[in-house]
Chain A
Amino acid sequence: MFEAVAFYLFAFLTIAMFFITVTTSQALYALSALAAGMIFISGFFFILGADFLGAVQIIVYTGAVMALYAFGMMFFDTTREVKEKKGNKFIVVGLATLSAVLVVAIFAAPMLSSNVLALYPAIEGAGNTQSVGLVLFTKYLIPFEVAAIMLLVAMVAGIVLAGKKMDLSLTLLNAEEIEQMDAEINKKVLS
């Protein structure tokens, strides 16, 4: 009973938050609603017994990603109202619903029709975090390391892209401008 109440509550909240995210014309509202939605989703994870996943959801999404977006928004002029595209809303909604139903149908159909055997069953007597750790550092070690490298690369890329001079393209500049730029850099280094 408690589970059902929690599920419906979180479901309602999540849908509402995400709905606000995609419909509001204020970027700040959207950001806040998204962050709230993320936290509510972690609620589902806790209900499902995936404690570790829920914690990660809160830390990574709500903590890191949202903070990143918040910093990103500082660069942009987000105070003015976001203009939305005028278009047929039914097409958009129809397409979205249809594809979502199809995705779920495809993934759900085999599971509903046949008994899927657990490849890595939850370990008896161990908490969720321990079992996750055991699987992650044995069977999924290589994907895990690859993911780590990917994150590192993404971090470097983020720093480089957001860094100085990236808005200039050497190929788009002509020779004099490049020389002038070089001269300025040299001056700074020398002085």
Chain B
Amino acid sequence: MEIGLNHYLILSTILFAIGLVGVMRRKNLLLLFFATEILLNSVNIAFAAISHYYGDLTGQMFAFFVIAIAASEVAVGLGLLIVWYKRHGTIDLESMTSMRG
């Protein structure tokens, strides 16, 4: 059985959905960050697969940049998280209601 591009795309879809579920469902900020990593990775798979099946390296290039962005996001995000935790003693989403309209 030949594995085609569609297989990868479906896999990517499933992973993306899992990531979104996590984003919407998680209350703990740290775990919410995990979910965003899943989202990024699912897209990376799609990029790599497309790159492979079309013989074009651009997909891989994008995957690299996605990884770079993910790394910086983690660095800054964790820093902010630590600051927040120091000040409030919790990283629960329910406690963050200062944007209440």
Contact = CB atoms under 8 A, between A and B. Distances in A.
A161 B74 CA distance: 12
A132 B60 CA distance: 8
Contacts of A82: 26-28, 31
Contacts of A61: 37, 41, 67, 70
Contacts of A22: 18-19, 21-22, 25-26, 31, 34-35, 38
A45 B71 contact: no
Contact of B74 (A44, A49, A65, A119): A65
Contacts of B57: 120-122, 131-132, 135
A38 to B, nearest CB: 7
Interface in B58-76: 58, 60-61, 63-65, 67-76
Interface in B1-54: 1-3, 5-22, 24-28, 30-31, 33-35, 37-38, 41, 44-46, 48-52, 54
Interface of B: 1-3, 5-22, 24-28, 30-31, 33-35, 37-38, 41, 44-46, 48-52, 54-58, 60-61, 63-65, 67-76, 78-83, 85-87, 91-92
Interface of A: 1, 3-4, 7, 11, 14-15, 18-19, 21-22, 27, 30-31, 34, 37-38, 41, 44-45, 48-50, 52-53, 56-57, 60-61, 64-65, 68-69, 72-73, 75-76, 78, 82-85, 87, 89, 92-93, 95-97, 99-101, 103-104, 107-108, 111, 116, 118-122, 131-132, 135-136, 140, 143, 147, 150-151, 153-155, 157-162, 166-167
Contacts of A150: 68-69, 72
30 contacts: A15-B15, A18-B38, A21-B18, A30-B34, A48-B48, A53-B64, A57-B67, A60-B70, A61-B41, A68-B78, A76-B91, A78-B30, A83-B92, A92-B25, A96-B24, A97-B17, A99-B16, A100-B14, A104-B16, A118-B54, A118-B55, A132-B61, A136-B64, A143-B61, A147-B68, A150-B68, A151-B72, A158-B76, A158-B78, A167-B83
A154 B30 contact: no
Nearest to B84: A167
